[in-house]
Structure 1
Amino acid sequence: MPLSEEKPAKVAPARADRPLRGITLLLVSSIFLGTSDATSKYLSTTLPSIEIAWIRFLVFAVIMVPAMVPGSPLFALRTQRPMLQITRGVALLGSSLLFISGLRFLPIAEASATSFVSPLFVTALSIFFLGEKVGLRRWFATAVGLLGVLIVLRPGTSAFHPAAFFPVVSAFAWACTLILTRKMSGQERTVVTMTYSSIVGFAVLCALVPLVWVTPSWHDILLGLIIGVASTAGQWIVVLAFRYADASVLAPFSYIQLLWVTLLGFVIFGEVPDVWTVVGAAFIVASGLYTAHRERVRHSKLVALAEPSPNP
């Protein structure tokens, strides 16, 4: 098709300032994501982590099929940043697979608390990949968060389990996912990014799953479907939440997921977090909240500088 006849690319819907709706959506997403995590831990007793992730991404890919069909009004395979999309898909897969691997050995509250260190990794990575300047106070918040991780993990003690590194590396991979998402913001629609993530994750896992395959029972398949639907719905609702409120507004409410997974861990697995897990989680949450606050302050300053002066 000649360039002059090419249809204009679809753009993302305009953002609406409705913080209460955004907060409500984020709270709903925590239920889906917490359910996905708890079900993954339950299923990890019978299936390998790679196979659980494969079922999860299979369901994800099936949900995104309408966006893969040429001629469909939802078609979303046209991208301006194919390599970034593929890299983001690999990072998302790594985050999911590592977290599920950690759940196999760790209490769900401990794994989830550790995984919430991802905003601190985003702070560090934004310097190198986004060219952002990070002040002393944000670095201090990062140090506090890392101290919280050490309190939760307690390396060098009898409470330490080597699998504790899985959610930490998972958090780093998720931070890479967020950084790549930021780099593509304003250029790629959300549906395009989600479509590529489903394809990349499913393709990589199809190559790995034959190495560890265990024939699942119908019960396992049902739980796998729950994981896939819950995780996909949760991620999509998070995206919707950010259409209605800023990240700094939503950040405090994202930690409600810790309470939800702790409750699920107690009801389903009889897990009660020890005092050190609670203290470490408090450090991580406080660090994340302060980082979100500094991000809001930085954004306000940028907006103020961008506004035209009333006295030219």
Structure 2
Amino acid sequence: MSAEPTLKGVLLAFAAFAAFSWSDASVKLIEGALSAFEMAFLGAVFGLVGLPFLMKREDRLSDMLRTTSRPLWLLRALAAAVGTITSVTAFTYLSMAEAFALIFLLPSFVTIMSVVFLKEQVGIHRWSAVIIGFIGVLVVLRPGFRELSIGHLAAVFAGLSGAISIVVYRAIGHREKGISLYGAGVLGSLLVCGVLMLPGFAWPSALQWLMLAGYGLFAALATILLMHATAHAPAAVVGPTQYSQMLWAVLFGYLVFGDAVDLPMLLGILLIIGSGLLTLARERVRNVPLPASVVSDPPATALAATDDTAAT
């Protein structure tokens, strides 16, 4: 692949993850004034704006419900709903840098679940990455030395939910339409969050509507940009750009939210990012475009471009 299309793909990927970061910052600006269920639902509604740009010429809306494995389709739907709710919760209660650090455990979760459920043979390098990642989490959380919140638990579950989506894609993605897995993520989030938001529903203010629109529309834009990025550059090149979100998190934290990153947190973040990059480096990528389905829930982006089941 020539250098010019690859550079274009990388730049599109950086733009995509910048848009994802703006999306996360938008929901954080609501500061928990609305329930996580309501924010996730309304954000998903706004995110539907991007659907026409993600569908291929031969796709139909009914294809969102068609699948070769209904149990895995439903698992993907549930994982997307849980991932969206928990990521919103994480960004509400934690600094963006801390939330991203824990969500970035996703590659480690993928490795573990690939061994358990897909029977992959994983070598010493990827197991080392898993261990480094969990050491990084201990450094960030410092259990026993600081108070932990529901935000920390939510961030971990956001990463876990994203990993489930990736493993489902690996299991059936080669025979499933991209629009089907995308539909599972979107419809799962709309249905689950829509039902759960009803008891505590509160009509958003004008400013909150603006933030919710930013949350959904930036996520839709990011998904479209990432789809085009992987059409121009190899997935192995696109994947590591995910971690540029940490730079945006620190920038937003400093300029907008007044957050600080202390030395132990910085060390933990570096360990977790290093773990993820090591996992990405050891993946054998088949150089296929990243389907839009994989990124319809925010936590599932970190390893979405590395669809390989080979041991290293």
Structure 2-normalised TM-score? Answer: 0.83
Q: Give the aligned partner of residue 276 of structure 1.
A: 264
For residues 235-265 of structure 1, what are the alpha-carbon distances to aligned partners after superposition, in whole Å with 9 as ceiling and x for unaligned?
Answer: 3322332333333322332211110121112
Question: Hey, what's the Cα distance between the residues in 1 that align with 2:117 and 2:59?
Answer: 35
Question: Hey, what's the Cα distance between the residues in 2 that align with 1:189 and 1:16?
Answer: 28
Q: Give the aligned partner of residue 127 of structure 1.
A: 115
Q: Give the aligned partner of residue 205 of structure 2.
A: 217
Q: Are 1:205 and 2:186 counterparts?
A: no
Q: Are 1:36 and 2:23 counterparts?
A: yes
CA drift of 1:29 comes to 0.7
Q: Give the aligned partner of residue 230 of structure 1.
A: 218
CA drift of 1:147 comes to 0.5
Structure 2 unaligned residues grouped into runs of 5+: 288-307
Question: Hey, what's the Cα distance between the residues in 2 that align with 1:56 and 1:297?
Answer: 32
Residue identity (%): 29
CA drift of 1:122 comes to 0.5
Alignment of 1:127-206 (within 5 A): 127-158=115-146, 160-206=148-194
Tell me which amino acid in the other structure corresponds to 2:178: T
CA 67–169 in structure 1, closer or farther in 2 if over 3 Å, else same: closer
Q: Are 1:19 and 2:15 counterparts?
A: no
From 241, 246, 251, the equivalent of 2:239 is 251
CA drift of 1:228 comes to 0.7
Q: Give the aligned partner of residue 48 of structure 1.
A: 35
Tell me which amino acid in the other structure corresponds to 1:287: S
CA drift of 1:140 comes to 1.2
Question: Hey, what's the Cα distance between the residues in 2 that align with 1:297 and 1:250?
Answer: 11
CA 48–95 in structure 1, closer or farther in 2 if over 3 Å, else same: same
For residues 11-58 of structure 1, what are the alpha-carbon distances to aligned partners after superposition, in whole Å with 9 as ceiling and x for unaligned?
Answer: xxxx99943232112101111100011111111332111111011112
CA drift of 1:73 comes to 5.7
Tell me which amino acid in the other structure corresponds to 1:272: A
CA 204–45 in structure 1, closer or farther in 2 if over 3 Å, else same: closer
Tell me which amino acid in the other structure corresponds to 2:176: E
Question: For 2:221, what is the secondary structure of its paired residue?
Answer: helix
CA 72–244 in structure 1, closer or farther in 2 if over 3 Å, else same: closer
Question: Hey, what's the Cα distance between the residues in 2 that align with 1:156 and 1:267?
Answer: 30
CA drift of 1:90 comes to 1.3
Question: For 2:158, what is the secondary structure of its paired residue?
Answer: helix
Tell me which amino acid in the other structure corresponds to 1:164: H
Question: Hey, what's the Cα distance between the residues in 2 that align with 1:208 and 1:65?
Answer: 27
Q: Are 1:109 and 2:97 counterparts?
A: yes
CA 165–228 in structure 1, closer or farther in 2 if over 3 Å, else same: same
Q: Note if contact 2:49-2:217 (Cα within 8 Å) is conserved in structure 1.
A: no
Question: For 2:203, what is the secondary structure of its paired residue?
Answer: coil
Tell me which amino acid in the other structure corresponds to 2:126: R
CA drift of 1:84 comes to 2.0
Q: Are 1:295 and 2:283 counterparts?
A: yes
Q: Give the aligned partner of residue 84 of structure 2.
A: 96
CA 82–241 in structure 1, closer or farther in 2 if over 3 Å, else same: farther
Bigger mean CA deviation after superposition, 33-42 or 176-185: 176-185
Question: Hey, what's the Cα distance between the residues in 1 that align with 2:260 and 2:269?
Answer: 14
Bigger mean CA deviation after superposition, 206-215 or 152-161: 152-161
Q: Provide the aligned length of Structure 1 versus Structure 2.
A: 286
Question: Hey, what's the Cα distance between the residues in 1 that align with 2:285 and 2:29?
Answer: 41
Q: Note if contact 2:16-2:222 (Cα within 8 Å) is conserved in structure 1.
A: yes
CA drift of 1:139 comes to 0.7
C-alpha RMSD over aligned residues: 2.9
Q: Give the aligned partner of residue 265 of structure 1.
A: 253
CA drift of 1:158 comes to 2.4
CA drift of 1:120 comes to 0.6
Question: Hey, what's the Cα distance between the residues in 2 that align with 1:54 and 1:16?
Answer: 41
Structure 1-normalised TM-score? Answer: 0.83
Question: Hey, what's the Cα distance between the residues in 1 that align with 2:97 and 2:279?
Answer: 22
Question: Hey, what's the Cα distance between the residues in 2 that align with 1:124 and 1:298?
Answer: 21
Q: Note if contact 2:80-2:188 (Cα within 8 Å) is conserved in structure 1.
A: no
Question: Hey, what's the Cα distance between the residues in 1 that align with 2:43 and 2:49?
Answer: 10
Q: Note if contact 1:265-1:271 (Cα within 8 Å) is conserved in structure 2.
A: yes
